[in-house]
Chains A and B, each alone.
Chain A
């Protein structure tokens, strides 16, 4: 096997990563953190097993095109729960992306996946795509479809997709018709120390969750930050990187780096955990690019989750929003970025909001992009456990700062006809500020 041209070409990419593989001492500490291993019990579906397969490719003992390699690399959720528990600090996420690239180069992924990545990475395709999405959502067609379609055969995926779409609508408690606008006053805050912040708009976020982007800008301003508008942004490339299309991811990263550099912002606020994790890793993504390596590192170092920024300097208190919120950690915030406390602090800053962390909140919801569609059985199992844990909280809404997770959990709840709303933590804070009269009427949403 060793020495075949196929191996030579494809194994090389990974071979370059020897240094990242070496620290894996095969201790197995990562096994119990892995949602796929916990459910399947097969070590090939564990982080250590996947790394072992990657290493076998590097050593030329395994073909990257082999069914085993592709299946188990593909079955990884990319949740990176295996990273914080690793005593050797193995950079699993980075290795996974490289492995995915190697695997997809050997055998390209299915048409739906390629279609989706193409659309998300191309603004002219993205706009009509999300327009149709919003149309389906707004007309109630998505919700209807999710209710009436059968859950078998080809309908299953469509039903899930529509449920995900339907779940992106605003939670009723906040479905106020009052229009909102930019900031009236930032109170008695000392704003002289605060930074200039640019907000990453993102593809899905801007397409389906524009309200969260607006809320993000408003709560930042209400806390005295200067929010700068940055035009020409593109998709962050997270989904491409996760899907093994590193080249597209790099292209997207470069264009984002250019516009954010030009914006003169001190910080880049990201309200989608998956995007934040990817942007914080731009330095690694572009480490081989002599023109961009340094610039990528610099931009990456200014990326923060929006809740990190809010948590970093005493939050302003708004008005009471009595409600019970179940909080769930997005993997890409907790494991990939190590942010645990900040979003909870944001929620708790809202008077009368009772916050419960979902049992097993550190485990992946099974969203992982379109995992539920590509791996119906396993994704269903993982998602089902999450939905049960959320329901066990008997909360009014579940909060989780990542669009993928919001859609995954929201769809799960919807399919079980459970009524919890789904929100991003800044939405609740935003509502609290609105009720407190921090915002001037008459602006745009």
Chain B
């Protein structure tokens, strides 16, 4: 960051906003200068900051903990805005099953607070505990548990955002049902920092299940598990989630059943009957977390992409993925999405990705790069949105960030 920028900013924001260290996960291009990280402590400060930036045409890269890949880097000058000081739980009324908190609050901290009241946030994208609420909302990812609980986008009840032009907008509210006006909250969920900075959000939360049972089925090869996975996905009962995990030497089908002991037992029985398979049962949280967090327990550093197709095409999808030797997979069976972790030392990553993308798109699916070595142009590996969708999305971008100063993760 150039000195004059720092100067004018330091008169704008209190000292606490400065001196944050850059997370190591941030791509090299964004790690140029320690002082590029600014941590505003309130909506007003975010608004001032964005106003300041838009007046000067300074780019803003919003981050939570900074764990995401930035497919493109802003042109100079730019600042990195972290939400880490927006870390207050603002409102928590357990009996209403709603919680409002600053964007920078870590999900694991929210979880601790909610657990006291026997409640939780049933979303499980990889490494969710280390994400911030703002990051979760901005990426919009729910994880395989969406099957039992619905997607995150349906449970974000409200948010305060600051648009690219510094305008603060309060969307939605605290109530579960709300149709007072156009639902611009929806496109904010999953907008990845492109439209506005989410400074706080209100989410619907859920009672913790009395019993959280994990059913496990192991096999040497993932293709042996696919038929069972599909059978479960079309069974008359709906588990909380069904996912397939595969590494080079082991494959697992993981099914979560939530509810009272009797209903979980009964669900298990009907699943076993329906699939003619008997599962290993894991009821203890420790056992479960080993398996559930196997991929994504820490910061994965391997290159990763997400591919997506109709759930019924998951076998074809997995066939395609076999072509990438050494890849590990994490598939959400209901959703038809697969996270693919490429071997860390993959040779010629670009041609692997190109080949993969072509095959996936031929299946009618989409691919999206999640984590790509800095030297690779990640945006080349995004399936293009449908032309008209792209145009409408650009229209929204122009409406909310007219000077295009926000550089989200795209």
Q: Would A and B touch once assembled, by the CB under 8 A criterion?
A: no
Q: Which residues of A contact B (CB under 8 A)?
A: none
Q: Which residues of B contact A (CB under 8 A)?
A: none
